[in-house]
Amino acid sequence: MSFKVMLLPGDGIGPEVVDAAVCVIDKISNKFNLKFEFDRGLIGGCSLDQFGVPITDETLNKCLMADAVILGAVGGPKWESLQHNLKPEAALLKLRKSLELFANIRPAKVYDSLADSSTLKSDVLRGTDFVVVRELTGGVYFGTPRGFDDNRGWNTMEYSRYEVERIARHAFELSLTRGKRVTSVDKANVLDCSQFWRKIVHEIHKDYPEVTLNDMYVDNAAMQIVRNPKQFDVLLTSNLFGDILSDISGIITGSLGMLPSASLGKDHALYEPIHGSAPDIAGQNKANPIATIASVAMMFGYSLKNYEAAALIEKAIDKTLSGGYRTADIFSQGTVLLNTKEMTQMILKNIDEISD
């Protein structure tokens, strides 16, 4: 059987990094005798330009029929003045909701060879390896009522018991495969919604007595990520807080171009780098493809359960970085500067060398 992958390159550097992902999938499929079937669709600004909507029903239906979706990036200055429901980012919210992708998994791992690339001290960073588990279909992004007028703007933050139970269980289950430590991040000292969140998380924790649970306010969590990131194993948090904290994690790895993600539901999965569309370098062959390639590794692990293939991609990335090869966003004196295609080819070369 062939594995159906829907490709949504999107805007800016999205097409460049998705092309890199396809190269890696092709390489791995040959190594493991796997068959992939690709389809492509427009999303974000490019879909707006061609169809007048950020994602069409046809593209959405193709995503629903796929085994996995790989997304590049959406957005850019060209579309920032559009009303909320027509902005490129609206396509992401619709896609996540339609595919019922409730769990966003965002690893923040520091490669030893990149410990000096961050503005933080290397001794603070070495050994950091945590995962942000972000609830993806509830919270302030989807709550109603919402809107604004000339005098005020308003959004509604709300969570149901089912939504919190579902994401909490996912975090606890994930922690069982790691360090068995979960930090639940909220703002329970101020927000009623966070008090509800904390109550439900603690109820679910009773089913996982071997896991250590502690609570942390989101403002303190943001500080602790840059102060002592090694203290974390699994960070469990809501949609808004998870969005912020996972981006803060970019300083841990040295660049957002290093951060992959998986958005998982019961029947569907979406894989994407967490960086934006970077319109300032779009089309210049300068983008870092590693986050997207690492997202492909997550796809092999989560969707195909082929952990050997996932590990092979991760090892190839590590070997490439250890060899001193860098794209512009992580370049430093004494390393070798590569463009997008060259970095992809180097990772492919290392896949061959490791597996031979």
In order, the DSSP letters of 10-34 are: ESTTHHHHHHHHHHHHHHHHHHHT-
Residues catalogued as catalytic: 141, 187, 219, 243, 247
Domains of the chain: 1-101+259-356 (3.40.718.10), 118-253 (3.40.718.10)
75-107, pLDDT tens digit by residue? 999 999 898 889 999 999 899 989 999 999 999
pLDDT at 115: 82
Using CA atoms of 296, 19, 14, 110 in order, give the dihedral in degrees to the nearest 10. 40
pLDDT at 251: 78
233-256, pLDDT tens digit by residue? 999 999 999 999 988 887 788 788
Query: If 0-12 CB within 10 Å is exposed, 13-18 middle and 19+ buried, where does residue 151 land?
Result: exposed
Which pLDDT band, with edges at 50, 70 and 90, does 308 fall under? very high
306 Cβ partners below 8 Å, 6+ apart? 32, 34, 300
pLDDT at 117: 75
Residue 184 to residue 79: CA distance in whole angstroms: 35
Query: In whole numbers, what is the pLDDT of the chain averaged over residues?
Result: 95
165-191, pLDDT tens digit by residue? 999 999 999 999 999 999 999 999 999
pLDDT at 116: 80
Which pLDDT band, with edges at 50, 70 and 90, does 356 fall under? confident
pLDDT at 195: 98
Which pLDDT band, with edges at 50, 70 and 90, does 112 fall under? confident
Q: What value does the mean pLDDT take over residues 190-202?
A: 98
DSSP 144: S
Count the Cβ atoms, other than its own, within 10 Å of residue 84: 11
pLDDT at 106: 94
| pTM recorded for the entire structure | 0.90
DSSP string, 166-222: HHHHHHHHHHHTTTSEEEEEE-TTT-HHHHHHHHHHHHHHTT-TTSEEEEEEHHHHH
Distances (CA, A) of 148 to 80, 83, 156: 17, 11, 12
pLDDT at 225: 94
Which pLDDT band, with edges at 50, 70 and 90, does 277 fall under? very high
pLDDT at 7: 98
Give the range among 140-154, 191-205, 247-261, 281-295 with minimum mean pLDDT.
Answer: 247-261
